[in-house]
Amino acid sequence: MPALGFGTLIPDPALTITATRDALDAGFRHFDCAERYGNEREVGRALAAGLAAGGIARSEIFVTTKVWNTNHRPERVQPAFDASLGRLGLNYLDLYLIHTPFAFQPGDEQDPRDQDGNVVYDRGVTLLDTWQAMESLMDGGKCRAIGLSDIGLDELKAIYEAARIKPAAVQVESHPYLPEWELLEFCKEKGMVLLAFAPLGHGMKPGLLEDPVIAGVAARVGKTAAQVLLAWAVQRGTALLTTPRSAARARENFDISALPADALEEINRIQTRQRLNPVVTTGVPGFIPKAQGA
Ligand SMILES: NC(=O)c1ccc[n+]([C@@H]2O[C@H](COP(=O)([O-])OP(=O)(O)OC[C@H]3O[C@@H](n4cnc5c(N)ncnc54)[C@H](OP(=O)(O)O)[C@@H]3O)[C@@H](O)[C@H]2O)c1
């Protein structure tokens, strides 16, 4: 898996296409998608055009997508996988993730709610049931690796222990305000990739991009705050997902270089602790606008 990943959580379809093309042109070769983002078709179209224009082979890119909470029932996993593959216009996936450990009422409504507006969960399926259906996908040959997302260490350990095919990657929020050192250590020990989302703190301001320690390191090394945050993520041994939406930012975010050891240590000493995305508590994704059915 290329360490620098481009995340496709972009609500606007036209912007999805241009940003994906820009990322490919800037050098990104790892693309993170999800059926929940509602734009797999646009990503697939942008990738197909970009690969053809750049003479880039399918084998040179790494594509991930994720099964949504409403498809956790084992019999729904293969159809969800096939549907994603079809929308992306691909004949295999490099990585397929369980988007969150929360099973929602199965069906076409991605955000099922009761009359009071509460999420309708599906108590009739366990995460291990879903994982075993993911393992069966691997047997089918169109799925090269499987993993989990938005999961805590204890739940991950339980799946790891029970799994016939161990998770290859775990996608979670991680940045200097939420370093997840214990999870990272477990992943390294077991040969799993920790794939960090929100490496720039979702671009929120005030936030990581304006943190005085990050700004100080950036000024010292002659890089931008974003480049410092992405370099820190790679150097500590994670892969990452970032979502630049313009060509200039795609080039900026791809152009990272190693930070000196004292800068890494300084960033590691940041005391602020903050989780930005509430998806881990309910399975309901943050940062997906209502317009998409959230
Ligand atoms: N598993 C999950 O539940 C989950 C949850 C969230 C995200 N993800 C994945 O992670 C991907 C990354 O999303 P993220 O929000 O976490 O990414 P991020 O890179 O932390 O934040 C993206 C935000 O940062 C801004 N930005 C990007 N490059 C910048 C730069 N060089 N300087 C200043 N600002 C910059 C963007 O602003 P502009 O829009 O103005 O360019 C955007 O608002 C998503 O696309 C998705 O694939 C997964």
pLDDT tens digits along 273-282: 999 999 999 9
Q: Measured between alpha carbons, how far is 63 from 96 in angstroms, rounded to an integer?
A: 9
Residue 116's Cβ-count burial label (10 Å; 0-12, 13-18, 19+) is exposed
23 phi and psi angles, rounded to 5 deg: -65, -45
In the predicted structure, residue 242 carries a pLDDT above the cut 90? yes
Band of residue 262 on the pLDDT scale cut at 50, 70, 90: very high
Give residues (CB < 6 A) around ligand 1.
7-9, 32, 149-150, 171, 197-203, 209, 226, 241-245, 249, 252-253, 277, 279, 285, 287
Q: Which of 175, 241, 251, 277 to mutate to test the pocket of ligand 1 (most atoms within 8 A of CB)?
A: 241
Nearest residue (CA) to ligand 1, atom 28: 244
Active site residues: 37
- Pair of tokens at residue 78: 């293969």
Determine the average pLDDT of the residues in 45-70: 98
Q: Which range is least confidently modeled, 96-100, 204-208, 265-269?
A: 204-208
Band of residue 289 on the pLDDT scale cut at 50, 70, 90: low
Nearest residue (CA) to ligand 1, atom 16: 198
**pLDDT mean across residues, the chain:** 96
Helix (H, G, I), strand (E, B) or coil at 5: strand
Cα-Cα-Cα-Cα torsion 170, 294, 67, 11, nearest 10 degrees, comes to -80
Q: What is the pTM of this model?
A: 0.97
The CA distances from residue 294 to 40, 119, 141, 289, in Å, are 17, 11, 33, 6
Q: Residue 163: its pLDDT value, please?
A: 98
Nearest residue (CA) to ligand 1, atom 27: 244
Q: List, for residues 146-156, the tens digit of each pLDDT value.
A: 999 999 999 99
